[in-house]
């Protein structure tokens, strides 16, 4: 018989080992799935395309980083809110709203070439995401409405709002009625940091933000407020923290960062506002945040891992005609195994002989 026994102390070894264990189990399960579904294709070559090629081919690697950047930025914001026990599930909606707000500024000045334009769009993007998440904060504080439901449902509203904007005010006047905006001109586009690829400055911004967040969580009372409020609300009051402020901070920060990622996506790889802006980054970032155990620097690495599954998934889709849901299966299994393996930090497995 197998039993889980609580450990006296958390195991530091398992803190490091559990992600590796989860990764191994995911790879094993993926292998088994491939063995069942693949006909006439060697599993090893699919594995190579899925997991290795994106890392050794420079184009694929740059695409991996392009996809990782928004995941990092959104995941960072979510990890702060989740620490406080504020469950912003609708980062996707805030991402879309940020993208719309920032793009609207860029499109308003479509004939102005100026250095200030991109920063202004960035601010608008952040504000768009913040305001959208702020709705959930306001409703929660004023009327005790659950923020999980509000943020999630507002995501669908945001996607429809995007489509309305692209059929209306933001549509390209000379675009043959396609629901797309004008293409951004140069001063409304993010600088490219790797010549010949789509890799933009967003990656650097993500790394800087992660260090700032790490300082805030580790060295500043702000981090303590967030952690204490999430872990023991009454103790937060005892310490003199205002619980309403915690709700505001959590949602505004995660919303603002999601908005920033949305604008970066529009002003970066897309180069215009299209109905294809929402790409599930807002939801996938939830996995990113948890894989990183809500650690602001860890988010950088978990975002890379998840981005690998995106790029690898697209590659096997193109090369072997496999369905794109391979990516989601992979991400789902990873989170599932990760959460399961984390039990081993607090519990140990003991084999019993059944007594009789």
Partner 1 sequence: MKYQLEVSNITKSYGDLKANDNVSLRIKDSSIHALLGENGAGKSTLVKIIYGSLSPDSGEMKWANNEYSPKSPFQARENGIAMVFQHFSLFESLTVEENIILGLDSVGLNDNFSEQIIKYSKQYGLDINPQQVVGDLSVGARQRVEIIRCLMQNPKLLIMDEPTSVLTPQEVADLFVTLKKLAADGCAILYISHKLEEVREICSEATILRGGKLVQSCIPQEHSQKELAEMMIGKKLTELARANIAVGESIFSIDNLSRKSDDIYGVNLNNIALKINKGSIVGIAGVAGNGQDELMELLIGEISSPKTTLNFNGQDIGTLNSHERRQLSMFFVPEERLGHGAVPDMSLDENMLLSRPDSTEMTSNDVIDWKKVATHSKNVIDTFDVQTPSSRMLAKSLSGGNLQKFMVGRELIQNPELLIVAQPTWGVDAGSANNIHQALIELADKGSAILIISQDLDEILSLCDKIHVLSEGKLSDAVDMKSKGLEKISQLMVGGKTQ
Binding positions for partner 1, rule: CB under 8 A: 8-9, 219-222, 224, 227-228, 231-232, 234-235, 237-242
Q: Whole-number minimum distance, CB 6 to partner 1, in Å?
A: 11
Q: Whole-number minimum distance, CB 223 to partner 1, in Å?
A: 8
Kindly tell me which of 9 and 195 has the beta carbon lying closer to partner 1. 9
Render 165-201 in DSSP notation, one character per residue.
Answer: HHHTTTS-TTSTT-S--PBP-GGGSPPBSSTTS--BT
Query: What is the CA 227 to chain-centroid distance, rounded?
Result: 20
Kindly tell me which of 198 and 227 has the beta carbon lying closer to partner 1. 227
Q: Whole-number minimum distance, CB 248 to partner 1, in Å?
A: 16
Taking every pair of C-alpha atoms in the chain, what is the biggest distance, in angstroms?
85
Q: Whole-number minimum distance, CB 131 to partner 1, in Å?
A: 26
Q: Whole-number minimum distance, CB 355 to partner 1, in Å?
A: 11
Sign of CA dihedral 229, 261, 117, 274: negative
**Tokens 């959930």 map to which residue?**
136
Q: Whole-number minimum distance, CB 344 to partner 1, in Å?
A: 18
- C-alpha distances (whole Å) from 224 to each of 75, 85, 239, 256, 303 are 19, 13, 10, 21, 25
Residue 280: left if φ>0, alpha if ψ -120 to 50, beta else—which one? left
CA 344 – CA 7 distance, rounded (Å): 9
- C-alpha distances (whole Å) from 14 to each of 10, 211, 276, 331, 332 are 8, 25, 40, 21, 21
Q: Whole-number minimum distance, CB 145 to partner 1, in Å?
A: 18
Q: Token pair of 108, please?
A: 């308003």
Kindly tell me which of 163 and 231 has the beta carbon lying closer to partner 1. 231
CA 75 – CA 285 distance, rounded (Å): 5
Kindly tell me which of 16 and 350 has the beta carbon lying closer to partner 1. 350
Kindly tell me which of 19 and 223 has the beta carbon lying closer to partner 1. 223
Kindly tell me which of 23 and 224 has the beta carbon lying closer to partner 1. 224
Burial of 111 (0-12, 13-18, 19+ CB in 10 A): exposed
Kindly tell me which of 231 and 325 has the beta carbon lying closer to partner 1. 231
Kindly tell me which of 24 and 346 has the beta carbon lying closer to partner 1. 346
Q: Whole-number minimum distance, CB 285 to partner 1, in Å?
A: 24
Q: Token pair of 172, please?
A: 């390209």
Helix (H) or strand (E) holding 348: strand 347-351
CA 335 – CA 339 distance, rounded (Å): 6
């Amino acid at each position: 018989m197998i039993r889980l026994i609580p450990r006296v102390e958390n195991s530091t070894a398992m803190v490091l080992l559990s992600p590796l264990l989860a990764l191994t189990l995911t790879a094993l399960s993926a292998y088994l799935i491939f063995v069942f579904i693949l006909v006439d294709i060697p599993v090893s070559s699919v594995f190579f395309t899925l997991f290795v090629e994106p890392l050794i081919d420079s184009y694929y690697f740059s695409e991996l980083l392009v996809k990782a950047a928004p995941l990092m930025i959104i995941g960072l914001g979510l990890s702060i809110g989740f620490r406080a026990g504020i469950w912003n599930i609708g980062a996707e909606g805030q991402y879309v709203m940020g993208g719309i707000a920032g793009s609207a500024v860029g499109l308003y000045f479509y004939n102005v070439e100026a250095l200030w334009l991109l920063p202004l769009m960035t601010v608008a993007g952040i504000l768009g995401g913040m305001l959208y998440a702020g709705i959930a904060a306001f409703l929660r504080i004023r009327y005790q409405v659950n923020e999980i439901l509000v943020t999630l449902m507002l995501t669908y509203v945001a996607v429809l709002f995007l489509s309305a904007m692209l059929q209306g005010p933001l549509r390209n006047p000379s675009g043959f009625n396609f629901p797309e905006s004008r293409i951004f001109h140069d001063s409304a586009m993010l600088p490219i940091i790797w010549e010949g690829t789509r890799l933009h400055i967003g990656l650097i911004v993500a790394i800087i933000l992660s260090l700032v967040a790490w300082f805030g969580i580790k060295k500043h009372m702000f981090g303590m407020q967030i952690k204490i409020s999430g872990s023991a609300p009454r103790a937060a009051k005892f310490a003199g923290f205002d619980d309403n402020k915690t709700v505001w901070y959590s949602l505004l920060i995660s919303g603002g960062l999601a908005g920033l990622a949305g604008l970066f996506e529009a002003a970066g790889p897309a180069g215009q506002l299209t109905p294809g802006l929402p790409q599930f980054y807002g939801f996938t970032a939830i996995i990113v945040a948890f894989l990183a155990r809500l650690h602001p620097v860890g988010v950088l690495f978990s975002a890379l891992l998840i981005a690998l599954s995106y790029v690898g998934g697209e590659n096997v889709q193109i090369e072997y005609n496999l369905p794109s849901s391979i990516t989601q299966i992979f991400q789902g299994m990873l989170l599932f195994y990760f959460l399961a393996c984390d039990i081993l930090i607090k519990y140990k497995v003991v084999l019993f002989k059944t007594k009789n």
